Structure 1
Amino acid sequence: MKKISIIILSLFMGIFFISCEEEEGLDESLPVNPVLNPIKTVMAQDGNEIAYATINNKDRTIKLSLKHLKSLSAVNVHLSISKRAKLISPTDTILTLDLTEPYQIIINDLYEDLTYTLTATIPEYILIDKSAFREYRLNNDSPKKEGEIEYLWNNEVMTQPNAYSTIGYRNYLTGKCFTVDLGDHYYIKQFTAHLYWAYTNVCPKIYELWGYLKDGEPPVDGNWNDWTLLGTLDNSNSTLSDFPNGDTLEFPKENSPRTRYIRVNCIQSWKGTTDISLCEITIWAWNI
């Protein structure tokens, strides 16, 4: 009986030691999870504004669109890196970069080194920000008859005739002409007037766009000799299918007028008067 007990104890001890050896061989370290977004943001100084890049972690690309700069040779860039990631190259997060060529950023995500490609572009033309638009009232501008002139840049456009409720019945109606300060000088690429009435009533039929091309502010007397006729809009042959696009003037890059102040002057409305009603104006500028 004593012999059998010794054999059982030996077997138990053998199993115990084997179990301990196996347990000692186990890898108890926690798995390393890579940082999903190692580069949080990339910002660049774009004139008086800050531009934010689009970061694609799948393709490992970073794209900047800089609408105010004239050159990409010296762009001030700031990188924001995840606390768990490590920036390998460059070694600093505040940089002045030559982005005329793609720039490589190498970062470790706790698992491996990743290479992101940073590129930047300057668009050929921009949509002028309407938030800076203001009325610049001249002595011979017409008094308003309905609505507020600010309705012309509140980004509410009728997409089909007679859809007045979609913009809250907001339009600006004045006697003949009005003047707008765009907030800065631009080389005008395109001017679009979005209509309120669909080729009826006081919808303008033939009207003009004027620009102040001299330095400084326009004289308040509004003398037309100080202004330059930029073009005439005529929708006499337009159909209802043309309504959503509004009336447009386009200017080639090489001959684009540089102006900060514009005037709209109605020659004839569809009613036969010089009254003019619009719901919005939209302007693009060459990025020169």
Structure 2
Amino acid sequence: MNSIKYITVCILLAVVSGCDTDQLSAIETDGSAPGPVLNVEAEPLPGAARLTYTLPSDPDLLYVQAIYKNKAGRDMEFKGSYYTNTLTVDGFPDTEPRTVDLYTVDRSGNRSTPVTIQVIPKTPPVLTTFETIVIEPDFGGASISFINTSKADLAIVVTTPDSTGNMAVARTFYTARDTASFSVRGYESVSRPFGVFVRDRWGNESDVLLQELVPIYEVELDKTKFRELSLPGDSRTNEWGGAMPYVWDGRVTGDVPGFGLHTGNASTGVPKIITFDLGVEAQLSRFSLQTVQDDRHWYNDVSPKRYEVWGTTSYNPNGSLDGWTKLLSITNIKPSGLPIGLFTDDDRTAGRAGDEANVPNDMPRVRYIRIRCLENWSGNTNMVFSEVTFWGNDK
């Protein structure tokens, strides 16, 4: 009886083993290369070319492959699905003719003989954008503006001497917008060179635009000179243990005594507004607002979501905005876009940094400031925040 059971088990194992062997051997390969593409045409694009062609009739065709060598001699490879008859070859650094080899590849990895064509791309975005760059003196540094008509993924790189006197990267601004401007700051008001060049995602770089500039004098305004004002229509700021002077005491805290100011929780639908004196007349350059530093207040509670900053050198005691200039309109943005109460590390990093904004250069000098909350993260107009900072020319 035991012998019979033993023989039966052996037969079953042999059957199972045979099934596995059959399944593994079912994957077949062939050594026949597919036919090449036919009727290739190239449409020039900025820094690229769109190729169209007729596919061969091979039933196991997988994709079309295009290869060219960049300036460094490295193969640049692009693939197009067998579902379509077009393929875009990108990353050309200039308008020089380029040789491109096209192959078809089947499911067994066989590659056809190449079809070699020559393409002449249009001027790439890395060069057209470079031609539009404007560098101007700015508060504590320089402002850079540009036009990127192709909305290409580009990096605008700014260099200036470091502490050793060697040119070093001061900022890299990544963009896919059609037009933008940004600043590099933190330098004394003495002549220094600034260099700007453009780099694309393929590693191509433009020439360097080099200019000698004198940064406009900028200083962080002295918070010991700030004073609270209360005009008709202004909100209370001492709800939940808050007080306006706490927002210029240099402390950015969580929900602890002295956290900042708080206008309350009552919803009236009317924008809440607060007023204070900078203690000095200044041409403002930058503004920063940091909210209470914890998960309960980042992108939550009555932390400001949409608000405005107004300024003037003199004010009407009736509390109206007559004679005031709107310096900034700010929207507090949660990087992840997750619902309230959910956070990523990027959310918390941005929450700690707070809102930072450059005041446009054409704004007038001001002494008195009003912050006007249009909407908080709870949907009403109250506000709570921990610290506010201003920079500018107070001379």
Superposition TM-score, scaled by structure 2 size = 0.38
Contact preservation (8 Å) 1:206, 1:236: no
Q: Could you give the per-residue CA deviations for residues 128-149 of structure 1, whole angstroms, max 9, x where no partner exists?
A: 0000100121111012323111
Per the TM alignment, residue 244 of structure 1 is displaced from its structure 2 partner at its CA by: 1.6
Are the structure 2 counterparts of residues 252 and 226 from structure 1 closer, same or farther at C-alpha, using a change threshold of 3 Å?
closer
* Equivalent position of 1:209 in the other structure: 309
* Equivalent position of 1:281 in the other structure: 388
Are the structure 2 counterparts of residues 169 and 137 from structure 1 closer, same or farther at C-alpha, using a change threshold of 3 Å?
closer
Contact preservation (8 Å) 1:201, 1:271: yes
**Distance across 1 between alignment mates of 2:318 and 2:355:** 28
Contact preservation (8 Å) 2:232, 2:317: yes
Contact preservation (8 Å) 1:189, 1:256: no
Are the structure 2 counterparts of residues 157 and 123 from structure 1 closer, same or farther at C-alpha, using a change threshold of 3 Å?
farther
Q: Of the two structures, which has the highest relative contact order with CA contacts closer than 8 Å and spacing of 6 or more?
A: 1
Are the structure 2 counterparts of residues 225 and 252 from structure 1 closer, same or farther at C-alpha, using a change threshold of 3 Å?
closer
Q: Could you give the per-residue CA deviations for residues 95-142 of structure 1, whole angstroms, max 9, x where no partner exists?
A: xxxxxxxxxxxxxxxxxxxxxxxxxx9972101000010012111101
* Equivalent position of 2:218 in the other structure: 125
**Distance across 2 between alignment mates of 1:208 and 1:173:** 17
Per the TM alignment, residue 241 of structure 1 is displaced from its structure 2 partner at its CA by: 2.0
**Distance across 1 between alignment mates of 2:310 and 2:394:** 21
Per the TM alignment, residue 245 of structure 1 is displaced from its structure 2 partner at its CA by: 1.3
Pair 1:194 & 2:301 matched: no
Map 1:7-22 onto structure 2 (within 5 A).
none
Per the TM alignment, residue 156 of structure 1 is displaced from its structure 2 partner at its CA by: 0.1
* Equivalent position of 1:103 in the other structure: none
SS in 1 for 2:245: helix
Task: Give the letter for the 1:194 counterpart.
Answer: Q
Pair 1:172 & 2:247 matched: no
**Distance across 1 between alignment mates of 2:290 and 2:334:** 16
Name stretches of at least 5 consecutive residues in structure 2 with no aligned partner.
1-188, 191-213, 265-271, 336-346
SS in 1 for 2:233: coil
Superposition TM-score, scaled by structure 1 size = 0.51
Contact preservation (8 Å) 1:133, 1:180: yes
Contact preservation (8 Å) 2:310, 2:325: yes
* Equivalent position of 1:185 in the other structure: 281
- Identity fraction in percent: 31
* Equivalent position of 1:31 in the other structure: none
**Distance across 1 between alignment mates of 2:393 and 2:363:** 8
Name stretches of at least 5 consecutive residues in structure 1 with no aligned partner.
1-70, 73-120
* Equivalent position of 1:156 in the other structure: 251
Q: How many residues align?
A: 161
Per the TM alignment, residue 252 of structure 1 is displaced from its structure 2 partner at its CA by: 4.3
Bigger-Rg structure (1/2): 1
Map 1:70-109 onto structure 2 (within 5 A).
none
* Equivalent position of 2:376 in the other structure: 269
Q: Could you give the per-residue CA deviations for residues 34-54 of structure 1, whole angstroms, max 9, x where no partner exists?
A: xxxxxxxxxxxxxxxxxxxxx
